[in-house]
């Protein structure tokens, strides 16, 4: 059974103006991005002071509109809402900024103490454990994530950033009261990822 999320797949009006009125398109997107990412920013942005937050916000906006709106033109109202798509773009941009050697994949699960897989791997690295083994695990994780649909990748990213189900509902623009559905969907995505990693020969239980 696949994950079915109830979302608004309608195109924001400004996306229809990219060619006919680029200035209006920019104004509409700018207003949307500022409100959306201020109301529900990725975790890295939530920890920033006001000046750094605004700098990164404008960097994300510029990333989307540069080269004749190249990134904005990649949006297709098929996998999830525009707001969720924009969150993913911002999240990935934040990862580019904070990316560290060896820990360049999404945290995908948590142990009984709430520690994410990425942090577990970081601990193993700091203790001098086998680098080659960690590289293999991370590469397998990337391949597994690539096999999953965009909705699962987004849910796992939100969970990795410690969003609660009620916050995920807001990011995904779902109707109120869908917390249990989001939790069920996330559980499904985690189990799917574990299965893919197991098929790749990675024993998650040995890591957590």
Give the per-residue SS3 of the chain.
CCCCCCCCCCCCHHHHHCCCCHHHHHHHHHHHHHHHHHHCCCHHHHCCCHHHHHHHHHHHHHHHHHHHHCCHHHCCCCCCCHHHHHHHHHHHHHHHHHCECCECCCCCCECCCCCEHHHHHHHHHHCCCCHHHHHHHHHHHHHHHHCCCHHHHHHHHHHHCCCCHHHHHHHCCCCCCCHHHHHHHHHHHHHHHHHHHHHCCCCHHHHC
Rounded to an integer, the average pLDDT of 82-91 is 88
Long-range CB contact pairs, 164-170, < 8 A, 24+: 167/40, 170/39, 170/40
Confidence bin at 30 (pLDDT 50/70/90)? very high
Q: What mean pLDDT is reported for the chain?
A: 75
Task: With a cut of 80, say whether residue 66 has pLDDT above it.
Answer: yes
**What is the distance in angstroms between the CA of the first residue and the CA of the last residue of the chain?**
27
Confidence bin at 33 (pLDDT 50/70/90)? very high
Task: With a cut of 70, say whether residue 111 has pLDDT above it.
Answer: no
CA 136 – CA 93 distance, rounded (Å): 24
Rounded to an integer, the average pLDDT of 83-87 is 88
pLDDT of the residue at 175: 73
Confidence bin at 37 (pLDDT 50/70/90)? very high
Confidence bin at 8 (pLDDT 50/70/90)? very low
**Least confident range of 11-15, 110-114, 175-179, 182-186:** 110-114
CA 75 – CA 96 distance, rounded (Å): 20
Task: With a cut of 60, say whether residue 126 has pLDDT above it.
Answer: no
pLDDT of the residue at 107: 41
pTM exceeds 0.95: no
pLDDT of the residue at 34: 93
pLDDT of the residue at 38: 92
| Longest pairwise C-alpha distance within the chain | 57
Task: With a cut of 90, say whether residue 93 has pLDDT above it.
Answer: no
Beta bridge partners of 116: 110
pLDDT of the residue at 45: 86
Task: With a cut of 60, say whether residue 2 has pLDDT above it.
Answer: no
pLDDT of the residue at 204: 64
Tell me the two tokens of residue 197: 């990693």
């Amino acid at each position: 059974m696949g994950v079915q999320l109830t979302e608004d797949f309608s195109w924001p009006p400004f996306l229809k103006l990219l060619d006919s009125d680029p200035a209006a398109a920019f104004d509409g997107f700018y207003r949307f991005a500022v409100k959306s990412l201020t109301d529900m920013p990725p975790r890295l942005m939530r920890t920033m002071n006001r000046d750094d937050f605004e700098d990164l916000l404008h960097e994300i906006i510029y990333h989307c509109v540069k080269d004749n709106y190249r990134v904005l033109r990649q949006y297709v109202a098929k996998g999830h809402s525009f707001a969720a798509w924009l969150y993913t773009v911002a999240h990935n941009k934040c990862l580019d900024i904070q990316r560290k050697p060896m820990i360049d994949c999404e945290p995908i699960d948590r142990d009984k103490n709430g520690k994410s897989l990425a942090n577990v791997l970081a601990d193993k690295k700091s203790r001098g454990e086998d680098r080659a083994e960690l590289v293999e695990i991370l590469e397998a994780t990337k391949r597994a994530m690539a096999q999953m649909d965009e909705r699962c990748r987004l849910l796992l990213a939100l969970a990795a950033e410690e969003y609660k189900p009620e916050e995920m509902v807001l990011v995904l623009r779902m109707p109120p009261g869908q917390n249990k559905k989001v939790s069920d969907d996330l559980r499904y995505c985690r189990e799917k990822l574990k299965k893919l990693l197991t098929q790749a020969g990675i024993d998650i239980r040995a890591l957590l």
